[in-house]
Chains A and B, each alone.
Chain A
Amino acid sequence: MENLSILTHLDYTLMIVAIGAALLGAVSGALGSYAVLRRQSLLGDAISHAALPGIAIAFLLTGSKTPLILVLGAAIAGWLGTLLILSIVRLTRIKYDSALGIVLSTFFGFGLVLHTLIQRTGNANQAGLDTFLFGQAATMLARDVLTIGILGGIALTVMLVFWKELKLLVFDEGFAASIGFPIRTLDILLTSLLVVAIVLGLQAVGAVLMSAMLVAPAVAARQWTDRLRLMVFLAACFGALAGVSGTIISSTASRIPTGPTIVLCATVVVGLSIAFAPNRGLVWDRIRQQRNRRNLKMETSRY
């Protein structure tokens, strides 16, 4: 009897974690689609690393470890990092990739400095940093899942409400401006949605692997469809699938960290999509080439 209750308790924990991971996967998959289409796949990497000093400062200022406050700090720092990247690109001849690399690494370094300061005051322990780097999907509570659900739901709703505007912004900025849409504002909106997805995802997979959660589901989804609507939907599904399967796999054996497993699951989905997706996939492409060659041979042999 006692055994049984432990079992159901475990299942309950696992279910909570799986739901949380699925929600995070869906949100980051859907919003990551836009980042991939704008060729800003690595912006997520920069934002997630740049969030560290924000979390540290939020903690230093408030002394609180309330997730919402830390998330707010992370979001602000991530935003500032993005702004700095854009200013460097606009005002100097340094290119996007270098600006991104500098902001990513130096913000993170600054966060590390702040972290050692906090550690010295004895308020926190090393675990805080590890959580930030690798996430702690396995310890997600129902309360965390609720936060993810609400914030992620808001982000996705905003995305759906401004669907037409965001699509036009990503496809043809100049035309969007010519018919009167404020592209600067829309750009800020889209980046903010991305920041929300990232700071939520930090909890599950951590800063280092966050970019994969944005990029992998979107790249996989792109192979299956030529419509944005379906791509975003599929990316959300793939993200959720990776979240759930990663959680379950990592729970089957001891000492398999959840975050990296989720990322590997997403990578497998990408691999399968690139290989087997109809029309675009590599296998499909090979078959088509062979068929063409055969047809060509038949035609030439006829004469």
Chain B
Amino acid sequence: MNPYVLSILLMGLGLGTTVTFASSHWLLAWMGLEMNTLAILPLMAQHHHPRAVEATTKYFLIQSAAAATILFASSTNAWLSGQWDIQHITHPLPTVMITLALSLKLGLAPLHAWLPEVIQGLDLTTGLILSTWQKLAPFALLVQIFPDTPLLITSLGLISMVAGGWGGLNHTQLRKILAYSSVAHLGWMMVVMQFSTSLTALALLMYVIMTASAFLTFKLLKSTSMNNLAMSWAKAPSITALMPLVLLSLGGLPPLSGFLPKWLIIQELTKQELGLVATFAALSALLSLFFYLRMCYCLTFTSSPNNLVGTTPWRLETKQVSLPLAISTSLSILLLPISPAVLSLTLPLF
């Protein structure tokens, strides 16, 4: 792709999310969402092979239908109450419609079926943008409307956790597994949203960091399926040693930074006397942990049969930029000891 066109598209992505962040009027928020959708389409289809075009078409249909539903629900709210402000969604009908449309945009279960298929058709960089940057604008809207429907929000969150854990179990394609892990993480954010939005922001931040390091590592190793992972020790030994830690951090094991949001969310749920929900959430994390452990196993404990030449690529110098990978990997492993600082980073957001 031409670098000028690429820069225009990336500016469109940035501008769309910024407009949605800055807006208080639903029409402006909708404009930002549309700009996001339009700007990422050529990035998704940049290789023009059938899988990419299919993923782009599915993504376009889903996103524009969801955005139109958001605008329709807000215009219904305007008809019923005369308000266009994002924070003045009072009538229950538009609230439910907007919540469902935003969860379709985000890929929350039971509206998540498009996400694994779309991510499977993309290359890893675009998949990274899709599963991190594109989630920010809908999440900002969802936090701002602060939906007053606890049953809907909690059930969306719980179903997402279970569906994300369950869906990824038997897959061998890394991008699908990462998509399901994204669904599960979004479920954690949803469950705690009505009690503490700063914890939601914290979970979103940690999710973005960990997903970025996972995608960037797979991009460095050029692997998109479990089989390719078995050869990664021959490509980059040090990142192969660190990658299981990142994966376990995604799974939420204690000494790593992925434990931080899960810990705080379960603590908050317990404080609200929602013991059953907290137990359910903690148990459903085990489902996700299973496939992260499977990836770790393929990554570190197996070695596929190989000739001598195949074991030498680590001697070659890689051409890829490794600074973002280094930063995100160390952040996604080491953040737990400074958790008060991280928490105070997200507290003033709301």
A binds B: no
- What residues of chain B have their CB less than 8 Å away from a CB belonging to chain A? none
